[in-house]
Structure 1
């Protein structure tokens, strides 16, 4: 478990931060922005996209005349491929940041795989995935970007490079909210403009950013409510399964 900022005089080093949420919640945009903001503030950071390959599998399925990845390799096949590819991506990201000393800004982490498994209805696979992913240290902060599935659907349709059903997005949203790690996530309303979402995220990381680099502090009514709150001088830590 990471040491609290209070115990280290407010100078604890941010080594791992993860952004998670349903497709269309803005994870990738905000992870890129956060990596850039940390680097500009003198905390060198690297963006890592820990994808599970589901989009790639879906495109392959379409080329082979199947409507989706599940029709191509079956539910168990999708979950197996996702679990392995995401595990490898996270391992590579952690190793890279261990070697370079840079902060790892994770676009998706282990919780994304657990949520995907739940949304697919493969609870047996979740137990296996948790055994394999247990080797990874929890992020010091895990931001769950929350957005209504209907808005997420509209965003995905606008970008036009993939497709998700409302049923899947709703199931994934429910899956995140029922994970045992959920109370440790910092909830960020991602329904607004990217700039507003970025300000909320950076406000929660103010303890790790120089005063001049961070945005104005949000008042209690404007800030999102994290269960493990960085703004109270503690380092929010994702619970181990």
Structure 2
């Protein structure tokens, strides 16, 4: 039997709509009277939010992939200690906009043998996976166009261009094939409400 989902992550390439879907799910669960929180990565705790600015702003080549990995891991550890685990221990549902799968893709695919390093560091310092991951899948060109049009200061990863987005998309799909019991793929190239309905159906089947 599939385990109940109390820790739910959303993944996808930039511009996939995952942040919108995470927010809509949180609103739906609150409307049902469920005790749920919405958080994000990098970020989700004061210390991790400080690291977020270092990671997402500035030139694309500001950090090496190895340095990024250490920064993301530090942010995730603080987020886990100060936000995620306390909420889970209190019996709350945690909805997280990105988690470790994003590091497996954005850092793990950008250098020789980095994926293995990502996994070793995750096992050593995090040792936590979501109960359920919703992967919002979308064409890389569409996603990148959306992300750039959105604007703002947090465009560092978009600066790596469409080729990286295409690799990330395939990487996410490969990851879903490796862990079908945890990761559900949902087509994000549709009306927002249609996507949200599919997300709710998947999540409600797994709620405690």
Bucket of the pairwise TM-score, normalised by the shorter protein: 0.7 to 0.9
Q: 1:99 to 1:183 in 2, by over 3 A?
A: closer
Over alpha carbons, which structure has the higher Rg?
A: 1
Partner of 2:96: 106
Structure 1 runs, 4 residues or longer, greater than 4 Å off? 52-55
Q: 1:172 to 1:133 in 2, by over 3 A?
A: farther
| Alpha-carbon separation, structure 2, partners of 1:140 and 1:183 | 12
Q: 1:133 to 1:144 in 2, by over 3 A?
A: farther
| Alpha-carbon separation, structure 1, partners of 2:16 and 2:140 | 9
Is 1:199 the equivalent of 2:191? no
Is 1:132 the equivalent of 2:124? yes
Deviation at 1:54, TM superposition (A): 6.1
Is 1:86 the equivalent of 2:82? no
Is 1:25 the equivalent of 2:16? yes
| Alpha-carbon separation, structure 1, partners of 2:115 and 2:122 | 11
CA contact (8 A) 1:114 1:129 kept: no
**TM-score, reference length from structure 1:** 0.70
Q: Find the partner of 1:148 among 139, 144, 151.
A: 139
| Alpha-carbon separation, structure 1, partners of 2:78 and 2:145 | 31
CA contact (8 A) 1:117 1:125 kept: no
Task: Answer 1 or 2: higher relative contact order, Cα 8 Å, separation at least 6.
Answer: 2
| Alpha-carbon separation, structure 2, partners of 1:56 and 1:23 | 18
Partner of 2:47: none
Partner of 1:230: none
Deviation at 1:77, TM superposition (A): 1.2
Partner of 1:44: 35
Q: Find the partner of 2:6 among 15, 26, 31.
A: 15
Deviation at 1:134, TM superposition (A): 5.4
Structure 1, unmatched stretches of 5+, are 6-11, 62-66, 210-234, 236-241
| Alpha-carbon separation, structure 1, partners of 2:199 and 2:125 | 26
Deviation at 1:177, TM superposition (A): 2.3
Is 1:57 the equivalent of 2:55? yes
| Alpha-carbon separation, structure 1, partners of 2:16 and 2:125 | 24
Deviation at 1:142, TM superposition (A): 1.2
CA contact (8 A) 2:14 2:143 kept: yes
Partner of 2:64: 74
CA contact (8 A) 1:51 1:85 kept: yes
Deviation at 1:150, TM superposition (A): 0.6
